[in-house]
Amino acid sequence: MAEHMKTELNIWLNGKTEILNSSQLIDVLPRFKAPFAVALNGCFIAAVQYPDIVLKAGDELDIVSPIAGG
Amino acid sequence: MQTEFNIYGETISSRLILGSALYPNPALMQQALQQSGCEAVTLSLRRQAPEQQGGEQFWRLIRDLNLKLLPNTAGCHSVQQAVTLAQMSREIFQTNWIKLELIGDDYNLQPEPVLLLQAAEQLLADGFEVLPYCTDDLVLCKRLYELGCKVLMPWAAPIGSGLGVINPYALRTLRERLPDATLIVDAGLGVPSHACQVMEMGFDGVLLNSAVALAKDPVVMAKAFSQAVSAGRAAFLAGAMPKQDFASPSTPVLGMPFWLQEAP
């Protein structure tokens, strides 16, 4: 009988530790409001790539949005 | 009078570009930007904080103003950080413009010249239209221009200092030696006369934030800077009189009454 494997993954999300139940990037994103952009381990991830990204333990994920600037 | 100039081929009518930070509240930011008549505004990206609702209010206000967006890479200390933030900006803001900031010293926020060149080269190769925030160093500016940065943004003084032009010689030299570059003075201006001064030198534009946002009345100060930029540009086009070290009367001396031609 196939046993359901529960995923628990520790990553850094916007500078804070986070335990994820899914390793898929697209499962992390719904809690963020558009517009946003994504970087993984300091590298830009284009929106078209989101479905292909699988996260690993210790990954550093940054989700950024517009803010005032000079 | 010629008022427009262009940034990487895009015509801009106002030679004043404003930042969107540090205003007492969003409504004053919006009013100040409108009163300034600016057509482009700088902004940035930061980690989304759910408690701030992703900066939704700010983004809505900026979009409603229908200005050209000039995203920056403020706070970056490495080429990788700057390149990644630029790529993220391009995706969100849908513009190839990037105000490239790469800081080399946290005390005076002076740009890191070597890394700035490296980042500019990478971004230009990736199709960005790079507007590097740089010092007034002639050689650095020449190298950036030779790389392909058509617009350079030398400082007048450190960011947020309000000191005005600390090295007029360097800025004058830049203008003379890079006559074909679009030069926008960015950072360090405190009052409208500072903006007027650099426009009189022949700079193409001025970018500022703190001087307006931190004024007691940002809306009135935005208008004042707009007028100063226009006055400075007009003066540059008009051509200033030559300076001299001696007095020269403006009222004709010939025909002056009470002067005797010969001694009695």
pLDDT exceeds 90 at position A3: no
Q: What is the CATH number of the domain that holds A49?
A: 3.10.20.30
**Rounded to an integer, what distance in angstroms lies between the CA atom of residue B170 and that of residue B176?**
10
Is B56 an 8 Å CB contact of chain A?
Answer: yes
> How far away is chain A from the Cα of B42, in angstroms, using its nearest Cα?
5
Q: Do B89 and A37 touch (CB under 8 A)?
A: yes
- Mean of the per-residue pLDDT values of chain B: 95
Tell me if A50 is assigned to some domain. yes
Tell me if A4 is assigned to some domain. no
B72-76 average pLDDT score: 97
For residue B3, the model assigns a pLDDT of 72
Cα maximum dimension of chain B? 94
Least CB–CB distance from B88: residue in A14, A31, A64 = A64
What confidence tier does B1 reach under pLDDT thresholds 50, 70, 90?
A: low
**Rounded to an integer, what distance in angstroms lies between the CA atom of residue B234 and that of residue B229?**
9
Q: Which CATH architecture has domain B5-238?
A: Alpha-Beta Barrel (3.20)
The predicted-structure confidence for B200-210, as pLDDT tens digits, reads as follows 999 999 999 99
Tell me if A54 is assigned to some domain. yes
Domain ranges, residue A36 = 9-64
For residue A7, the model assigns a pLDDT of 72
Is B60 an 8 Å CB contact of chain A?
Answer: no
pLDDT exceeds 60 at position A2: no
Give kind and range of the element (H or E) at residue B6: strand B5-7
**Alpha helices per DSSP H over chain A:** 25-28
Tell me if A2 is assigned to some domain. no
For residue B263, the model assigns a pLDDT of 66
Q: Do B74 and A69 touch (CB under 8 A)?
A: yes
What confidence tier does B54 reach under pLDDT thresholds 50, 70, 90?
A: low
> How far away is chain B from the Cα of A3, in angstroms, using its nearest Cα?
35
Q: Are A19 and A9 in contact (CB under 8 A)?
A: yes
Q: How far is CA B221 from CA B100, B199, B218, in A?
A: 26, 17, 5
What confidence tier does B259 reach under pLDDT thresholds 50, 70, 90?
A: confident
Is B22 an 8 Å CB contact of chain A?
Answer: yes
Give me the count of residues in chain B: 264
Tell me if A1 is assigned to some domain. no
Q: How far is CA A66 from CA A31, B26, B129, in A?
A: 16, 14, 19
Q: How far is CA B51 from CA A32, A60, B23, B47, B187, in A?
A: 11, 21, 20, 12, 31
CB-CB neighbors (< 8 A) of B23 in chain A: 68
Closest of B90, B83, B47 to residue A61, by C-alpha: B47
Q: Do A69 and B20 touch (CB under 8 A)?
A: yes
**Rounded to an integer, what distance in angstroms lies between the CA atom of residue A28 and that of residue A23?**
9
CB-CB neighbors (< 8 A) of B91 in chain A: 37, 44, 46-47
pTM over cut 0.95: no
Q: Do A68 and B84 touch (CB under 8 A)?
A: no
B91-108 average pLDDT score: 97
Counted domains in chain A: 1
Domain boundaries, chain B: 5-238
The predicted-structure confidence for B4-53, as pLDDT tens digits, reads as follows 889 999 999 999 999 999 999 999 999 999 999 999 999 999 999 876 66
Q: Which residues of B are catalytic?
A: 99
Both structure tokens of B173: 């030299």
Least CB–CB distance from A66: residue in B43, B49, B209 = B43
Instruction: Name the residue of chain B whose CA is nearest to A69's CA.
Output: B43
**Rounded to an integer, what distance in angstroms lies between the CA atom of residue B220 and that of residue B32?**
7
Tell me if A3 is assigned to some domain. no
**Rounded to an integer, what distance in angstroms lies between the CA atom of residue B188 and that of residue B207?**
10
**Rounded to an integer, what distance in angstroms lies between the CA atom of residue B61 and that of residue B41?**
12
The predicted-structure confidence for B109-164, as pLDDT tens digits, reads as follows 999 999 999 999 999 999 999 999 999 999 999 999 999 999 999 999 999 999 99
> How far away is chain B from the Cα of A8, in angstroms, using its nearest Cα?
23
**Rounded to an integer, what distance in angstroms lies between the CA atom of residue B233 and that of residue B256?**
38
Is B81 an 8 Å CB contact of chain A?
Answer: yes
The predicted-structure confidence for A16-56, as pLDDT tens digits, reads as follows 999 999 999 999 999 999 999 999 999 999 999 999 999 99
Tell me if A26 is assigned to some domain. yes
